[in-house]
Amino acid sequence: MKWMFGNSGSILDISNFDFRNVVDGEHIFCSANCSINKIYSPKNLTRQIPLPMYNVDDIWYKPDGTEITELPQNLDYSIIISRNDIPTISLSYIKANKTKTTYECGEILNIDDLKVRFFDTDGTIKEVTDFITNKDNIDMSTLGEKELKITYNGLDAAIKIIVIQATVSEDILL
C-alpha cells in the first residue's frame, strides 16, 4: 500500500493490488486518528469492505457522482473515490513503475517488470501494456544515469535507469 499525505488529508493508493484472493480486508484502513480523503481502489475485489467513516455525515463518491459505502467490487481496473467530494481528474496521465532500475554495464535492459497505469479523466485507472519505450535506444555499455521513456496514448512518463560498473566474481580471478 502507498500512503500519500497532503494538506487536504491522506490518499490511499491500493490500485496496484489485485484483491482477487483477499480473505479479510476489513482492517486495511487506518484508525480514526488519520483521515483518508481519496482512495485509488484495488482491482478484482470480491468481498464487501466498508469505507472508513470519520464523521457521521461523511459521504464517499465515485467519479460519476454515485454515493458508495464500500470499496467498488468486481472491477478489473481501479477507480478513484473520494470522501465528501466528487473526484475529478482534469487531465489524463500515466504513471510507470519498474522493479529493477540499476543494471551492470553491458547488461540487457529488461522491461518485463515495467508496469504502466493510465489515469483517465473519467476516474478510471487501468494497467496498460500497449505502451512504447525508448529501451532500444539506451546505451547500456556506458556507465551513468539513463532515462527510460514510456509513451502511451500521447502521454509520457520516465524512469531513471542507473548503469554501474560490472562486478567481477572472485571465481574468475585465478
Of the three residues 58, 88, 118, the one that is the final residue of a domain is 88
Q: Tell whether 101 is covered by a domain.
A: yes
Q: Is 124 in contact with 78 (CB distance < 8 Å)?
A: yes
**Among 18-27, 45-54, 58-67, 121-130, which stretch is predicted with the lowest mean pLDDT?**
18-27
User: Number of structural domains, the chain?
Assistant: 2
Look at residue 61 in the predicted model and tell me its pLDDT: 95
Contacts of 141-146 spanning 24+ positions with Cβ under 8 A: 141/105, 141/106, 142/105, 143/105
Q: List, as one string, the DSSP characters of 115-165.
A: EEEEE-TTSEEEEE---EE-GGGS-TTS-EEEEEEEEETTEEEEEEEEEEP
- Alpha-carbon separation of residue 56 from 64, 84, 93 (angstroms): 23, 11, 34
Q: How confident is the model at residue 3 (pLDDT cuts 50, 70, 90)?
A: very low
5 and 72 co-located in one domain: yes
Confidence of residue 2 (pLDDT cuts 50, 70, 90): very low
Average pLDDT over the chain, rounded to whole? Answer: 86
Tell me: do 59 and 72 sit in the same domain. Answer: yes
pLDDT of residue 117 exceeding 80, the answer is yes
Q: If you average pLDDT over residues 85-97, what whole number do you get?
A: 92
Same-domain check for residues 97 and 146: yes
Q: What is the pLDDT of residue 173?
A: 53
Of 88, 117, 149, at which residue does a domain stop? 88
Please report whether residue 77 resides in a domain: yes
Position with higher pLDDT, 24 vs 62:
62
- Write out the three cell numbers for 161: 535507469
In which domain, by residue range, is 8 found? 1-88
For residue 13, give the DSSP letter: E
- Do residues 33 and 69 share a domain? yes
- Domain membership flag for residue 174: no
pLDDT digits (tens, 9 = 90+) for 130-158: 999 999 999 999 999 999 999 999 999 99
Same domain, 17 and 38: yes
Is position 171 within any domain? Answer: no
The pLDDT value given to residue 26: 62
**pLDDT of 35:** 80
> Does one domain contain both 65 and 144?
no
Same domain, 32 and 6: yes
- Looking at residue 17, its pLDDT comes to 76
CATH number for 143: 2.60.40.3630
Report yes or no: 40 and 68 within 8 Å, Cβ to Cβ. Answer: no
For residues 111 and 144, state if they share a domain: yes
pLDDT at 120: 93
pTM given for the model: 0.74
SS (H, E, C) 69-87: CECCCCCCCEEEEEECCCC
In a shared domain, residues 81 and 17: yes
